[in-house]
Amino acid sequence: MSVIRQSESDFAAARKLLPGGVNSPVRAFKSVGGTPRFFAKAKGAYVWDVDDNQYIDYVGSWGPMILGHAHPDVVKGVQETAESGMSFGAPCELEIELAQLVVDMVPSIEVVRFVNSGTEATMSALRLARGFTGRDKFIKFDGGYHGHADGFLVKAGSGAATFGEPDSAGVPNDYAKLTLTAPFNDIEAVRALFAANKGEIACIIVEPVPGNTGVMLLNDNGFLQQLRDICDAEGALLIFDEVMCGFRVGPGGAQQRFGITPDLTCLGKIIGGGLPVGAYGGREEIMRRISPDGPVYQAGTLSGNPLAMRAGLETLSRLRAPGFYEELEARTTRLVEGLLAGCKAAGVPAVANQVGAMFTVFFTDLPAVTCCSDVSRHCDLGFFGRFFNAMLDEGVYLAPSQYEAAFMSAAHSDADIDATIAAAGRALAKLKA
Ligand code: KE4
């Protein structure tokens, strides 16, 4: 059991000043129990808490740190840029450079707008889809999490599902009723929604690689193509929420990996290299409806600020190195196979879902986890919590919720992966004893 006195003291102090002692709910460890670790430092594949305990980190700030923490070139770029000013509130050339890189990397994006978070990206894309189609309703999927804008907190996944509260207080019923939901991978349910809401649905928003009910896999029926086809037939827009899987499952995200072209794409996390950046983009015809070109309003004081743009540039430009994703995916596969082998050896029933460099291990007797109800009904969330804390004691930091994804970075070495697998073996043996 690691010494965590300073984290305990910090958590007590933080709880007096911050709701739950945190600035984002999942960080409070409510679903896994125990004291959240307050981080003091992060470098490469490692983080250190305020008691100087070191962990191999598979959260990576929830995805952004794909190069590893505090990459020297990213840090140097931010330091240099800061010398010339932290934020202008005026156009700067770094915005053009990052926009060009996003347009070059993400197949469907012709025009892009930078914002400050994934939530801003998805809420703006939804407003744009409504403005472009003149329709108010939209479809999301059970367990899909698209940030905390009101209309999305209806059967949200991730944080809300972790707390077992699929709807959030404070979301007006009149607003929530515009949100239609369907099970992921279920095209018949989507067809039924369009039939029952003829001419009223502005868009479908989907995580093409769901990561907020743990990682979910597409079925074998070409679900994303089916969504593309139904949107074309019904005059609705297809929005890919690639905040998590964008630049994570390949240089062009899920749309490039699966060869499907959405009308709008939402980005976040990796695009800012650890600084607050979100983005939404798509076909020029649609994006030109955004103010000041068009009537759909959206704005932001710190949007496109030079520091965040430079961090994003220094990060994305390194993802295009030949073999970058192949290596990352191979490391992730080796880790997942090692963890499952450890579970088997310990007699702990488990399965895993992995796409590229994101994965989730589920503790369940099911042969596969294919939807969010599999997680809430058939996964041992209590065991997950005990495993999470046992891995903390072994010096490995996993996501503090069964409903989250874990992320590999380019900084994780083979030795780190071997050490993680060995740590899991010890943790599982302790839990089985
Ligand atoms: P942010 O507003 O947190 O930058 O992005 C919201 C968002 C939108 N779309 C997807 C697919 C997302 O995964 C997210 C945010 N992901 C969570 C992790 N499940 C962020 C961690 C947190 O909420 O603290």
Domain extents for the chain?
Answer: 5-60+322-432, 72-318
Give the pLDDT confidence of 247-289 residue by residue, as tens digits.
Answer: 999 999 999 999 999 999 999 999 999 999 999 999 999 999 9
Map tokens 């972790």 to a residue: 162
241 is known as an active-site residue: yes
Per-residue pLDDT tens digits for 61-117: 999 999 999 999 999 999 999 999 999 999 999 999 999 999 999 999 999 999 999
- Give residue-wise pLDDT tens across range 195-247: 999 999 999 999 999 999 999 999 988 999 999 999 999 999 999 999 999 99
Q: Is the pLDDT of residue 166 over 70?
A: no
Q: Which top CATH class is 5-60+322-432?
A: alpha beta
Q: Give me the phi and psi of 85, to 5 degrees please.
A: 120, 140
pLDDT tens, 369-417? 999 999 999 999 999 999 999 999 999 999 999 999 999 999 999 999 9
- Give residue-wise pLDDT tens across range 16-40: 999 999 999 999 999 999 999 999 9
Res 163: pLDDT: 37
Residue pLDDT, tens place only, 290-310: 999 999 999 999 999 999 999
Q: Name the residue of 59, 119, 140, 148 whose CB sits within 8 Å of the most ligand 1 atoms, as the mutation to test its pocket.
A: 119
pLDDT digits (tens, 9 = 90+) for 175-184: 888 899 999 9
Percent of the chain with pLDDT over 90: 92
Ligand 1 near 404 CB (within 6 A): yes
Ligand 1 near 282 CB (within 6 A)? no
Ligand 1 center from residue 118 Cα (angstroms): 6
Question: Quick one: fold of 72-318?
Answer: Aspartate Aminotransferase; domain 2 (3.40.640)
Is the CB of residue 242 below 6 angstroms from any atom belonging to ligand 1?
no
Beta bridge partners of 258: none
Decide if 269 is catalytic: yes
Q: Does ligand 1 lie within 6 Å of residue 213's CB atom? A: no
The predicted pLDDT at position 177 comes to 84
pLDDT value at position 156? 45
Distance (Å) from CA 28 to ligand 1 centroid: 15
> Which atom of ligand 1 is nearest to 210's Cα?
11
Distances (CA, A) of 174 to 136, 178, 391: 12, 7, 44
Mean pLDDT of the chain: 95
